[in-house]
Protein backbone atom coordinates (compact mmCIF):
# COMPACT_ATOMS: atom_id res chain seq x y z
CA UNK A 1 0.00 0.00 0.00
CA UNK A 2 1.19 3.47 -0.82
CA UNK A 3 0.39 6.48 1.33
CA UNK A 4 0.64 10.10 0.37
CA UNK A 5 0.21 11.63 3.80
CA UNK A 6 1.84 11.00 7.14
CA UNK A 7 -0.30 9.56 9.92
CA UNK A 8 0.53 8.44 13.44
CA UNK A 9 1.33 4.80 14.00
CA UNK A 10 3.73 2.58 15.86
CA UNK A 11 4.99 0.76 12.77
CA UNK A 12 6.28 3.84 10.98
CA UNK A 13 9.95 4.11 10.05
CA UNK A 14 10.41 7.82 9.40
CA UNK A 15 14.17 8.21 9.69
CA UNK A 16 15.75 5.63 7.38
CA UNK A 17 19.35 6.46 8.32
CA UNK A 18 18.78 6.04 12.05
CA UNK A 19 16.83 2.80 11.57
CA UNK A 20 19.53 1.40 9.28
CA UNK A 21 22.20 2.30 11.82
CA UNK A 22 20.29 0.33 14.48
CA UNK A 23 19.65 -2.66 12.22
CA UNK A 24 22.99 -2.80 10.41
CA UNK A 25 24.51 -5.60 12.47
CA UNK A 26 21.58 -7.96 11.98
CA UNK A 27 21.20 -7.02 8.30
CA UNK A 28 24.89 -7.60 7.51
CA UNK A 29 24.57 -11.33 8.03
CA UNK A 30 21.35 -11.61 6.02
CA UNK A 31 22.23 -9.73 2.83
CA UNK A 32 20.84 -11.58 -0.19
CA UNK A 33 20.76 -11.32 -3.99
CA UNK A 34 18.00 -8.69 -3.90
CA UNK A 35 20.10 -6.47 -1.61
CA UNK A 36 23.11 -6.86 -3.92
CA UNK A 37 20.92 -5.83 -6.84
CA UNK A 38 19.69 -2.74 -4.95
CA UNK A 39 23.29 -1.77 -4.18
CA UNK A 40 24.28 -2.28 -7.81
CA UNK A 41 21.32 -0.45 -9.36
CA UNK A 42 21.04 2.49 -6.97
CA UNK A 43 24.59 3.16 -5.81
CA UNK A 44 26.41 1.62 -8.76
CA UNK A 45 28.40 -0.36 -6.19
CA UNK A 46 29.31 -3.95 -5.36
CA UNK A 47 29.62 -5.78 -2.08
CA UNK A 48 33.13 -7.02 -1.30
CA UNK A 49 34.47 -9.02 1.60
CA UNK A 50 38.01 -8.09 2.58
CA UNK A 51 39.62 -9.69 5.66
CA UNK A 52 36.20 -10.99 6.73
CA UNK A 53 34.78 -7.49 6.70
CA UNK A 54 31.97 -6.32 4.43
CA UNK A 55 32.62 -3.33 2.17
CA UNK A 56 30.91 -1.68 -0.77
CA UNK A 57 33.03 -0.85 -3.74
CA UNK A 58 31.59 2.44 -5.04
CA UNK A 59 32.69 4.62 -7.98
CA UNK A 60 34.40 6.80 -5.34
CA UNK A 61 36.27 4.00 -3.58
CA UNK A 62 35.65 1.43 -0.88
CA UNK A 63 33.35 2.24 2.03
CA UNK A 64 31.35 0.61 4.79
CA UNK A 65 27.67 -0.36 4.48
CA UNK A 66 26.75 2.74 6.50
CA UNK A 67 27.86 4.83 3.51
CA UNK A 68 25.14 3.50 1.23
CA UNK A 69 22.73 6.13 -0.04
CA UNK A 70 19.55 6.73 1.94
CA UNK A 71 17.50 5.37 -0.97
CA UNK A 72 19.50 2.15 -1.00
CA UNK A 73 19.18 1.81 2.79
CA UNK A 74 15.40 2.20 2.53
CA UNK A 75 15.21 -0.57 -0.09
CA UNK A 76 17.38 -2.92 1.99
CA UNK A 77 15.24 -2.25 5.07
CA UNK A 78 12.11 -2.96 3.00
CA UNK A 79 13.66 -6.26 1.97
CA UNK A 80 14.29 -7.35 5.57
CA UNK A 81 11.36 -5.90 7.52
CA UNK A 82 7.72 -6.90 7.42
CA UNK A 83 4.45 -5.06 7.97
CA UNK A 84 6.04 -1.66 8.50
CA UNK A 85 5.26 1.72 7.00
CA UNK A 86 8.50 2.95 5.47
CA UNK A 87 9.06 6.60 4.65
CA UNK A 88 10.37 6.95 1.10
CA UNK A 89 10.44 10.75 1.20
CA UNK A 90 14.24 10.76 1.29
CA UNK A 91 14.56 8.33 -1.63
CA UNK A 92 15.31 9.28 -5.21
CA UNK A 93 13.21 8.09 -8.12
CA UNK A 94 15.82 5.46 -9.02
CA UNK A 95 15.54 3.89 -5.57
CA UNK A 96 11.74 3.88 -5.61
CA UNK A 97 11.62 2.25 -9.04
CA UNK A 98 14.12 -0.41 -7.95
CA UNK A 99 12.04 -1.06 -4.85
CA UNK A 100 8.81 -1.54 -6.81
CA UNK A 101 10.54 -3.72 -9.40
CA UNK A 102 12.52 -5.98 -7.08
CA UNK A 103 9.93 -6.34 -4.29
CA UNK A 104 6.62 -6.02 -6.15
CA UNK A 105 4.54 -7.67 -3.42
CA UNK A 106 6.12 -6.30 -0.28
CA UNK A 107 4.28 -6.77 3.01
CA UNK A 108 5.40 -3.25 3.91
CA UNK A 109 3.54 -0.03 3.13
CA UNK A 110 5.27 3.04 1.85
CA UNK A 111 4.94 6.75 2.44
CA UNK A 112 5.62 8.67 -0.76
CA UNK A 113 5.35 12.45 -0.41
CA UNK A 114 7.24 13.48 -3.55
CA UNK A 115 5.46 16.26 -5.37
CA UNK A 116 6.79 14.88 -8.64
CA UNK A 117 7.29 11.28 -9.58
CA UNK A 118 7.87 11.16 -13.32
CA UNK A 119 8.30 7.38 -13.65
CA UNK A 120 4.70 6.87 -12.48
CA UNK A 121 3.70 7.46 -16.09
CA UNK A 122 5.63 4.38 -17.16
CA UNK A 123 4.20 2.01 -14.56
CA UNK A 124 0.83 0.78 -13.52
CA UNK A 125 0.01 0.39 -9.84
CA UNK A 126 -2.48 -1.95 -8.30
CA UNK A 127 -4.34 -0.09 -5.59
CA UNK A 128 -7.15 -1.98 -3.89
CA UNK A 129 -7.53 -4.22 -6.94
CA UNK A 130 -7.95 -1.31 -9.32
CA UNK A 131 -5.10 -0.74 -11.72
CA UNK A 132 -4.05 2.82 -12.38
CA UNK A 133 -1.17 4.03 -14.51
CA UNK A 134 -1.91 7.71 -14.71
CA UNK A 135 0.14 9.95 -12.42
CA UNK A 136 -2.80 12.12 -11.31
CA UNK A 137 -5.14 9.18 -10.80
CA UNK A 138 -2.43 7.56 -8.75
CA UNK A 139 -1.99 10.57 -6.50
CA UNK A 140 -5.75 11.04 -6.13
CA UNK A 141 -6.21 7.42 -5.16
CA UNK A 142 -3.35 7.52 -2.71
CA UNK A 143 -4.63 10.76 -1.18
CA UNK A 144 -8.06 9.18 -0.73
CA UNK A 145 -6.52 6.14 0.92
CA UNK A 146 -4.63 8.42 3.32
CA UNK A 147 -7.77 10.36 4.22
CA UNK A 148 -9.80 7.19 4.79
CA UNK A 149 -7.37 6.06 7.43
Partner 1 sequence: MKFKVLKLNGLNDMDEPIKYEIELRGYVTIVSGNSGTGKTLLCDIVKQHISDGNTKFIVIDATSRGLFDLTFLKNKKGKIIFIDDADLMVSRKILNYILKDRNNYYVMFRRDNYDVHLSPNYYATIVWDTRNIGHFKYDCEVVGWY
Q: Which residues are near partner 1 by CB under 8 A?
A: 14-15, 17-18, 42-45, 55, 58-64, 67, 69-72, 87, 89-95, 113-115
Nearest residue (CB) to partner 1, 26 versus 118: 118
Nearest residue (CB) to partner 1, 27 versus 65: 65
Nearest residue (CB) to partner 1, 105 versus 115: 115
DSSP bridge partners of 12: 85
Nearest residue (CB) to partner 1, 44 versus 126: 44
Nearest residue (CB) to partner 1, 118 versus 128: 118
Q: Which distant-in-sequence residues (6+ apart) come within 8 Å of 97 by Cβ? A: 119, 123
Phi, psi (rounded to 5 degrees) for 125 = -120, 140
What is the closest distance, in whole angstroms, from the C-beta atom of residue 79 to partner 1 in the complex?
15
Q: Which residues of 19-49 are buried (b: 16+ CB within 10 A; e: fewer)?
A: bbeebbeebeeebeebbeebbebbbebeeee
Whole-angstrom distance, CA of residue 51 vs CA of residue 93: 35
Contact predicate 67/56, CB 8 Å: yes
What is the closest distance, in whole angstroms, from the C-beta atom of residue 70 to partner 1 in the complex?
6
What is the closest distance, in whole angstroms, from the C-beta atom of residue 60 to partner 1 in the complex?
6
Secondary structure letter of residue 60 according to DSSP: T
Amino acid sequence: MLYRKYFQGSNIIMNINLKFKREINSIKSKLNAIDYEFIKRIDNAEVKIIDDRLYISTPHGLAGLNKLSTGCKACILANHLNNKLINLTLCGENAIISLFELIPNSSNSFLLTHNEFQPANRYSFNLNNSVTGNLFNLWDTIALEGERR
